[in-house]
Structure 1
């Protein structure tokens, strides 16, 4: 069974510059119990919402299982949606899936992997960057307006 473990919205990009210098402070709430999604734009309040360079990659997903090797908060990977029981990394580009957490189905189209960066060695543990290669999640464009909530949503693979 799939579960939305955590939702993350950040108004700023905290991982800029060099990892040894440390991340920038995140001025907004990190964890949310629900997020508002807008078709083609992303998650309301997130740094990539309606950002032209990220239109096809505005919402990121990661499987909680990818982070299970480390006793860390799943939000440290800075993906918008952390899911358990759904191997998001196995979805090919162009796949469409939908999640319904009680407010109607919100569909997403996979556009590319969300590759990890060197920051993962700083915020998770040394070696996390290499360990997350191929397991860093996916970047998607939302196809519908809607709401996602933590909990156990219904999952539908529309096309793979």
Structure 2
């Protein structure tokens, strides 16, 4: 059964400067049991909420199956860690998640490419190992709440234009 494994809403950027210097300390409480999303704005309380430069990437989703055992959102700095959903295959689709309070629609805009920080936070070789599996960058299309636990999933794919 698909699920939401972890949620992260962090007010702070941790990957600043050079990876060799290490990440900034994590703020307390960034891993949460639920997040509130606002259409076109992102996750309430997150560092990218309402930032014009991040409107098409305000919510990031990664599959637990892409990560080594024991690695979570604190290391990869994505917002939603799922299980049982092949999120990397969803670019161009709308991902609809319902963890209980009602459906939340996320437009999947593009891949969330891994960076050199992955070799520091996960371990040597992680940057290369996550290529093509680094998750996706999304825009919330509806307001709503997501919670850790089982989730109903619907994938809305754009229909092909009619052929003449």
Q: TM-score, normalised by structure 2?
A: 0.92
- Quick one: distance in 2 between partners of 1:81 and 1:126? 23
Is residue 40 of structure 1 aligned with residue 46 of structure 2? no
Residue 65 of structure 1 is matched in structure 2 by 65
Structure 1: segments with no counterpart, 5+ residues = none
- Quick one: distance in 2 between partners of 1:99 and 1:70? 24
Residue 90 of structure 1 is matched in structure 2 by 89
For residue 37 of structure 1, give the secondary structure of its aligned residue in structure 2.
Answer: strand
Q: TM-score, normalised by structure 1?
A: 0.95
Is residue 10 of structure 1 aligned with residue 36 of structure 2? no
Structure 2: segments with no counterpart, 5+ residues = 159-164
- Quick one: distance in 2 between partners of 1:12 and 1:74? 14
Residue 25 of structure 2 is matched in structure 1 by 25
Residue 112 of structure 2 is matched in structure 1 by 114
Number of residue pairs matched? 158
Which stretches of structure 1, 4 residues or longer, exceed 3 Å deviation after superposition? none
Contact 1:63–1:85 (8 Å) recurs in 2: yes
For residue 111 of structure 1, give the secondary structure of its aligned residue in structure 2.
Answer: strand
- Quick one: distance in 2 between partners of 1:4 and 1:75? 15
For residue 118 of structure 2, give the secondary structure of its aligned residue in structure 1.
Answer: helix
Is residue 130 of structure 1 aligned with residue 128 of structure 2? yes
Q: Write out per-residue CA displacement over residues 96-149 of structure 1, whole angstroms, 9 at most, x where no aligned residue.
A: 110011100000001111111100000001000000011000000000000000
The verdict on how the C-alpha distance between 1:61 and 1:50 changes in structure 2, with shifts beyond 3 A counting, is same
Residue 154 of structure 2 is matched in structure 1 by 156
